[in-house]
Amino acid sequence: MLLNRRSTLAFALAGLAAPSLVRAQGAAGWRPSRPIRLVVPFAPGGSNDIVGRIIAEPAGQILGQPIVIENRAGAGSVIGSEAVARAPADGHTLLINSAHATVPAIVARMPYNAVTDFEGVAVAGFSPHSLVVNARVEARTAQELVALLRANPGRYNFASAGIGSGVHLAGLVFMNRMNVQAEMVHYRGGGPGVAALVSGEAQFGTPTMASSIGQVRGGALRALAVLSEERSPALPDVPSAPQAGIPGVIHEEFFPITAPKGTPPEAIAALGAAFRQAIQQSAARLNEMAGVAPRAGYETNAQVMALVREGVENYTRILRAAGVQPE
């Protein structure tokens, strides 16, 4: 469930009080000695790329070194994530990956452990996925789309952001729960997947709000539902999944920022403080541009990695209950 108004206000007020304290803590502790790489394991234009770029600049200003986005797409985020897991644990290589907890639930042979090979830095926020169609598709409601897919099994293409991505998982849950069939087409990230939806190469999908909100607002895509229990403030006119008649199709992504296992605690503390301040400063932009809402409660390495661990367990349980086995 997205952050309620009271929690959002409290988080924002905390951010107003924190900057001087964060700068003081950062100045007294670890500082980066060169630019920091923030690896986005997807192609440009997707949700991780958008969120990462929003927060990288202010975080870099706080730390005194630029944070450079590096897109390393492939294998549903596995290639970029493995590169970070194998990078020197010196605080100068980080990962932002909303698929970090979904990939282990759907990829059979992982070259790294999503929990034990990483340290938690921060969580950039939470955002629901949405059910969308190309504007030329006849369906104007989720129920009409279900009827169209049932009448034409395998005829329509579903745009996935890659094997193991949150988009892939949400699509599998939708098709399984609604008992429909479609061709699952895997792209190299959310940006290329949304581009395929806009062009008509794919007819429907469950993209992140960050990668699709501009196209929905512009009319190139039609949003039929937000895959959450409640409507999203970013798309207030779009019904929630229960309101749209697909109550079992709920999927929310979160954006953990992690570092290689063994990164010194003082580096994790300084990086975490800087990113939390950057997230607080960017809360309005994150919501407007990406439909992402920050939440308090992820201030330590242990809290961030507990969220990842719970995500792996939850997604594995959901997929197995839906009859989906690792590929």
pLDDT of residue 1: 35
Residues 6+ apart with CB under 8 A from 313: none
**pLDDT on residue 124:** 98
Phi, psi of 37 (to 5 degrees): -90, 125
Top-tier CATH class for 128-226: alpha beta
| pTM metric for this prediction | 0.81
Please count the residues of the chain: 327
Residue 203 has pLDDT above 50, yes or no: yes
Q: Does residue 131 sit in helix, strand or coil? A: strand
Tally of CB atoms within 10 A around 88: 10
Mean pLDDT of the chain: 90
For the residues 136-157, what does the mean pLDDT come to? 98
Quickly state the pLDDT bin for 8 (edges 50, 70, 90). Answer: very low
At the top level of CATH, the class of 5-126+252-321 is: alpha beta
| Pairing outcome for strands 130-134 and 204-205 | antiparallel
- In the chain, CATH 3.40.190.10 covers 128-226
**Where in the chain is CATH 3.40.190.150?**
5-126+252-321
Among the listed residues 71, 54, 62, 53, the one whose alpha carbon sits nearest the alpha carbon of residue 21: 62
Q: How far is it, in rounded angstroms, from Cα 285 to Cα 279?
A: 10
Give me the pLDDT at residue 101, please.
94
pLDDT of residue 204: 99
Which of 316, 309, 306 is CA-nearest to residue 105?
A: 316
CA gap 76, 49 in Å, rounded: 14
